[in-house]
């Protein structure tokens, strides 16, 4: 079974993906202008059907554009698609080559994943993949230039907007801290900004915050609070099947009394802060 776990990638990207079609429209505009981070967001949106109809071909197109500019997050996601054959003909050699490039570009996530994925390949296949990575860079040097400067610029701009109270920026900043893009990875800071964005009604941030509670990332593990925040995210995005599946997963670990307690807490929280629930158009 592949160690490239798609749900984990989606969870990490939840705040980045945004809450609705309006976010997608804003990102597609940036992507068309050549922004690699926006291209990655658009590619993932197409891959999972967030804010736009799911389309594996378009996901591949945008993820390749981003990966070709050295975006290691896109390289990891694209590598996973090739490794498991998701929306593209399965090619484990190319998938591992992309993961190798992401590691070379400084991705701590790729560094953690690579040894696990390598266990599924022979020494000859690994050597072939690393040789392919060199050929890819020879054809497209930007693939190995990395995105450090770009990520730092995005982080600085996002931090400034978040500090001024922009909820979307708060959610994005949390994701940048989680991924270690533009700044050192810091789960405590990620949790802080997730909480701010979630309190302002961002469904993506609410889900991501719930997952932080569930995994104990940046905060003490608390399954009841995980249920509370994932439930709020689902309330704001009732058609999101992934949110629904994860709420069910969390609920299976709680007793009926704990679920009732969590549901009562949600009511009290919403009464105290109506912004937790987005107003319907």
**pTM of the predicted model, to two decimals?**
0.59
Same domain? For 112 and 194 the reply is no
Domain-embedded: residue 281: no
Confidence tier at 281 by pLDDT (50, 70, 90) = low
Same domain, 117 and 210: no
* 210 shares its domain with 134: no
Domain count, the chain: 2
What is the mean predicted confidence (pLDDT) over 166-184? 86
Please check whether residues 106 and 207 belong to one and the same domain: no
Whether residues 222 and 112 share a domain: the answer is no
pLDDT band at 97 (very low <50, low <70, confident <90, very high): very high
pLDDT at 1: 42
CATH number for the domain spanning 39: value is 1.25.40.10
Q: Compute CA 259 distance to the chain's CA centroid, rounded to the nearest angstrom.
A: 27
| Across 12-21, 47-56, 236-245, least confident range | 12-21
- Cα(155)–Cα(190) distance, rounded to whole angstroms? 13
Enumerate the H helices of the chain as residue ranges.
Answer: 6-17, 21-32, 36-48, 56-67, 72-84, 92-104, 108-118, 123-139, 148-163, 167-179, 187-199, 203-215, 223-236, 241-251, 256-272
Q: Which domain holds residue 153?
A: 148-276
Contacts (Cβ under 8 Å, ≥6 apart) of 215: 221
Local confidence band at 13 (pLDDT 50, 70, 90 cut-offs): low
> Could you tell me if 114 and 155 lie in one domain?
no
Mean pLDDT of all residues in 10-15: 49
**Chain segment 189-226, per-residue pLDDT in tens:** 999 999 999 999 999 899 999 999 999 999 999 999 99
Task: Name the one residue in this structure whose structure tokens are 């509670």.
Answer: 213
- If asked whether residues 140 and 236 sit together in one domain, one would say no
**183 or 65, which is more confident?**
65
Could you tell me if residue 1 is inside a domain? Answer: no
pLDDT digit string (tens) for 255-279?
Answer: 999 999 999 999 999 999 999 998 7
Across the chain, what does the average pLDDT equal? Answer: 87
Surface-to-core class of residue 270, CB atoms within 10 Å of its CB (0-12 exposed, 13-18 middle, 19+ buried): middle
Q: Residue 148 has what pLDDT?
A: 62
In this structure, the answer to whether residues 185 and 270 fall within a common structural domain is yes
Question: In 105-133, which positions are buried (b, 16+ CB within 10 angstroms) versus exposed (e)?
Answer: bebebbeebbeebbeebeeeebebbeebb
Q: Are residues 139 and 233 in the same domain?
A: no
The pLDDT of residue 190? 94
pLDDT at residue 89 tops 50? yes
pLDDT at 103 over 90: no
């Amino acid at each position: 079974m592949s160690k490239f776990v798609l749900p984990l990638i989606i969870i990490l990207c939840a705040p980045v993906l945004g809450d609705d079609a309006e976010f997608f429209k804003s990102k597609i505009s940036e992507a068309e202008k050549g922004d690699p981070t926006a291209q990655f967001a658009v590619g993932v949106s197409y891959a999972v059907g967030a804010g736009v109809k799911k389309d594996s071909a378009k996901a591949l197109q945008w993820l390749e554009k981003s990966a070709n500019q050295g975006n290691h997050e896109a390289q990891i996601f694209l590598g996973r698609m090739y490794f498991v054959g998701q929306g593209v003909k399965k090619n484990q050699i190319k998938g591992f080559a992309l993961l190798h490039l992401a590691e070379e570009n400084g991705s701590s996530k790729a560094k953690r994943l690579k040894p696990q994925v390598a266990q599924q390949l022979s020494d000859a296949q690994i050597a072939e993949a690393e040789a392919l990575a060199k050929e890819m860079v020879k054809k497209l040097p930007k693939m190995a230039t990395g995105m450090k400067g770009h990520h730092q610029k995005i982080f600085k701009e996002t931090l400034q907007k978040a500090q001024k109270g922009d909820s979307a920026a708060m959610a994005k900043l949390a994701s940048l801290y989680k991924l270690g893009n533009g700044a050192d990875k810091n789960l405590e800071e990620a949790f802080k900004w997730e909480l701010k964005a979630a309190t302002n009604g961002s469904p993506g941030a609410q889900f991501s915050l719930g997952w932080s509670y569930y995994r104990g990332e940046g905060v003490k593990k608390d399954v009841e609070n995980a249920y509370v925040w994932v439930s709020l995210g689902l309330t704001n995005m009732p058609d999101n099947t992934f949110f629904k599946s994860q709420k069910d997963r969390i609920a299976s670990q709680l007793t009926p009394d704990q679920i009732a307690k969590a549901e009562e807490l949600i009511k009290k929280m919403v009464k105290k802060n109506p912004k937790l629930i987005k107003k319907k158009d």
